[in-house]
Amino acid sequence: MSARALWLAFRSGLGGRQAFSTKVNLQGSGRITVEVIEHLERLALVDFGSREAVARLEKAIAFADRLREVDTDGVEPMESVLEDRCLYLRSDNVAEGNCAEELLQNSRQVVEEYFVAPPGNISLPKLGEQESFQHS
């Protein structure tokens, strides 16, 4: 397998192409700050409620960082693992549908043919204010 570089979703901006707009700045020591945790929690709706979770995160980043050791000079970045495959195009025919009733049964609460959701996005309380969540 030839050496290829993978773009990680949370790689900090290294200059050059700014294809991804995530701006998570990593400290050189590998410690994750409170601001970073808050930001990640809002983006991914993941709860980093415990010190162990944060430590696990730091270890995961350190593991992935080893990719930086690969020499990618003069190597074209890969777009995806599928980049040499053919994109299948389906013809514009209706093959299925008319299953509204069946799909609506997936939801606990429906109104006529609408799914019911809470009003808009519920904002998370700030890290300092929240009670500790229970991990499910």
Partner 1 sequence: MKAQTEVLNRRCVEAAVMTGLALNCHINKKSLFDRKHYFYSDLPAGYQITQQRLPIAANGSLTYGVFMGNKQSRMATKTVRIRQIQLEQDSGKSLHDDLRSQTLIDLNRAGVGLLEVVLEPDLCCGEEAAAVIKELQLILQALGTSQANMAEGQLRVDANISVHHPGEPLGVRTEVKNLNSIRFLAKAIDHEIQRQINELESGGEILNETRSFDCKLGCTVPMRDKEGKQDYRFMPEPNLPPLVLYDSASLPAGTESQQVINIDQIRDALPELPSATRERLVRRYGMLPEHSFTLLNEVGLLQFFQNVMKETRAEPKKVTSWVLNTLLGYLKHHNLAVSESPVTSSALAELLDLLDSKAISSAAAKQVFEELWKGEAKSAAQVVSEKQLELMQDREALEQLCQSTMEGHPQVVTDMKSGNPRAINKLIGLVRKATLNRADPAEIKDILERLSS
Measured distance CA(4)–CA(2) in Å, rounded: 6
Measured distance CA(31)–CA(57) in Å, rounded: 10
Q: Does residue 108 belong to the site contacting partner 1 (CB under 8 A)?
A: no
Q: Does residue 45 belong to the site contacting partner 1 (CB under 8 A)?
A: yes
Phi, psi for 111 (deg, rounded to 5) = -125, 115
Q: Does residue 19 belong to the site contacting partner 1 (CB under 8 A)?
A: yes
Only one of the segments 29-37, 51-59, 63-71, 87-95 lies at the binding site for partner 1 (rule: CB under 8 A); that segment is: 87-95
Select from 2, 69, 116, 136 the one that contacts partner 1 (CB under 8 A). Answer: 116
Q: Are 70 and 4 in contact (CB under 8 A)?
A: no
How many CB atoms sit inside 10 A of residue 127's CB? 13
Residues that bind partner 1 (CB under 8 A): 7, 9-10, 19-23, 39, 43, 45, 79-92, 99, 102-103, 111, 113-121
